[in-house]
Amino acid sequence: MKTYRITELAQRFGLSRSTLLYYDRIGLLPPSGRTEANYRRYTQEDLAKFERICFFREAGLSLAEIGHLLEKTSDDSSILERRLSEIGQEIARLKAQQRVLAGMLKKVTTGIDGSGLDKELWLSLLKACHFDEAALKRWHIEFERRAPNAHHAFLLNLGLCEKEALQVRMLTKNIKQNTLTMKYFYELFEDLPRQGPGCREATLKALGLLADLPTNPKVLDIGCGSGMQTQLLAQELRTKILAIDNHRPVLDCLDRAAAREGLGIETMEMSMMDMSFDKKSFDLLWCEGSIFIIGLVRGLKEFKTYLKPGGYLAFTEICWLTDDAPAEAKDFFEKVYADIRTTGEVCRLAAAEGYREVGAFNLPESAWWDDYYTPMLARIQELKVKNAGIPEALAVYTECLTEAEMFRRHSKSYGYTFFVLQSS
């Protein structure tokens, strides 16, 4: 039978020789034998016992408690020991995940070149660290909640295009199925009258708060979508509207509508996260239902640089309408948009960035249903037939149906608020 000297056993577990001498002295781990020269010799059974002692010590048990455990062999203690071992293994896996993800985050936050780290390598690393789909989704949700800008930069660094990165952030949080999911997401939303809540009355009310716009103001509509509000801005302000979005098909839809109505609208396929306009060049920035893409805090800060002194920023943002929202609604937004704030909190953030609040009002519930949820739900029923049996399509529809049902049940607790701010 193989035996071990005290130094070999200590080195095997990364402990000092004096630790084993102490364990012998207190009777916790006496050697099974000695050589003719009276040196301690440990057997395989001693090694297994020492392994258990180290395991229990790492779990936080005292030496006295460990001694009692080693003396007893009841079924209950065996079950608990197995469970403790499972937890220990899970902790080890989590530590491995932590090390991998910490390295990834370091590249993002310090600007270190991430060349070589692409989507396939990243997923293989996560798989090696025992990440399943649920864990991956939780990780994306937490990354988005804590650092949305860094999350977006990280996804782009993996080689995703911006639209794919936004889809990961805002809908599925799942990179593996993202390409197919994007297809069905846009198939659903491209032909809707609006890509988010809004209404003619709210746009007109916000416009009515702009008391001192110059003649022929320079206006930028950010994240315009198919542009129902863009058309109204062109009609009411009687000036040319520059409209940007990162999805060409909705801009084509807006171009056709503008040509049909004879409106002065110029569209550009551009990301709000990388706008190339001159600083302090616009009298009015309009952003209905899309500032969440860049993030409210970043949007307030960066958009302000494009405004002339005294220029206006008008945007809608989803807000809590009550201080005691139901738990179901809170749980839902913790998963899909953890940055939801109260109207007062948004106004305080705006003031901190140097804006003056001109006005703020809540959109009516009809703004959610008439041009958004109602046509979306009808479109889902059509597409369910067309795309029956396609998991990626059904996942998109399920997300959207859940969102609509959540608003149906809790519309008194949250909604969109229209904010009109003036730059100092």
Domains of the chain, by residue range, sit at 4-72, 87-176, 200-423
Structure token digits, residue 75: 């079924």
Q: Is the pLDDT of residue 399 over 50?
A: yes
91 or 403: which leads in pLDDT? 403
Question: What pLDDT band is residue 337 in, cutting at 50, 70 and 90?
Answer: confident
Q: How far is CA 211 from CA 230, 237, 358, in A?
A: 19, 12, 10
| Strand, coil or helix: 182 | helix
Dist CA 147 CA 97 (whole Å): 19
Q: Exposure of 200 by Cβ count < 10 A (0-12 exposed, 13-18 middle, 19+ buried)?
A: middle
Q: pLDDT-based confidence at 229, cuts 50/70/90?
A: very high
User: Higher model confidence: residue 152 or residue 298?
Assistant: 298
At residue 214, the pLDDT reads 93
The whole-number average pLDDT for the span 262-286 is: 94
Residue 73 and residue 77: Cα distance in Å, rounded?
7
The residue with greater pLDDT, 142 or 119, is 142
Homologous superfamily (CATH) of 200-423 is Vaccinia Virus protein VP39 (3.40.50.150)
Using alpha carbons, select from 201, 202, 195 the residue that is nearest to residue 171: 195
Q: What angle is formed at CA 215 by the lines to CA 210 and CA 221, rounded to 5 degrees?
A: 60
Q: What is the mean pLDDT of residues 67-84?
A: 67
Confidence of residue 172 (pLDDT cuts 50, 70, 90): very low
Going by pLDDT thresholds of 50, 70 and 90, the confidence category of residue 112 is very low
Percent of the chain with pLDDT over 90: 47
Average per-residue pLDDT in the chain? 84
Nearest to 98 by CA among 71, 130, 53, 57: 130
The residue behind tokens 């080689």 is 159
Give the residue, 93 or 241, on which the prediction is more confident. 241
The residue that leads in pLDDT, 68 or 250, is 250
Q: Check whether 236 has a pLDDT greater than 90.
A: yes
Q: What is d(CA 138, CA 84) in angstroms, rounded to the nearest whole number?
A: 24
Architecture of domain 4-72: Orthogonal Bundle (1.10)
Q: How far apart are CA 370 and CA 73, in angstroms?
A: 69
Reported confidence tier of residue 173, pLDDT bands at 50, 70, 90: very low
Supply the pLDDT for residue 356: 96
**pLDDT at residue 175 in the model:** 44
pLDDT tens sequence across 255-264: 999 999 999 9
CA angle 189, 195, 196 (to 5 degrees): 135
Can you give the pLDDT at residue 76? 55
With beta carbons less than 8 A apart as the criterion, state whether 303 and 423 touch: no
Q: List residues bridging with 136 in a β-sheet.
A: none
Nearest residue to 203 via CA among 226, 222, 228: 228
pTM for this model (two decimals): 0.65
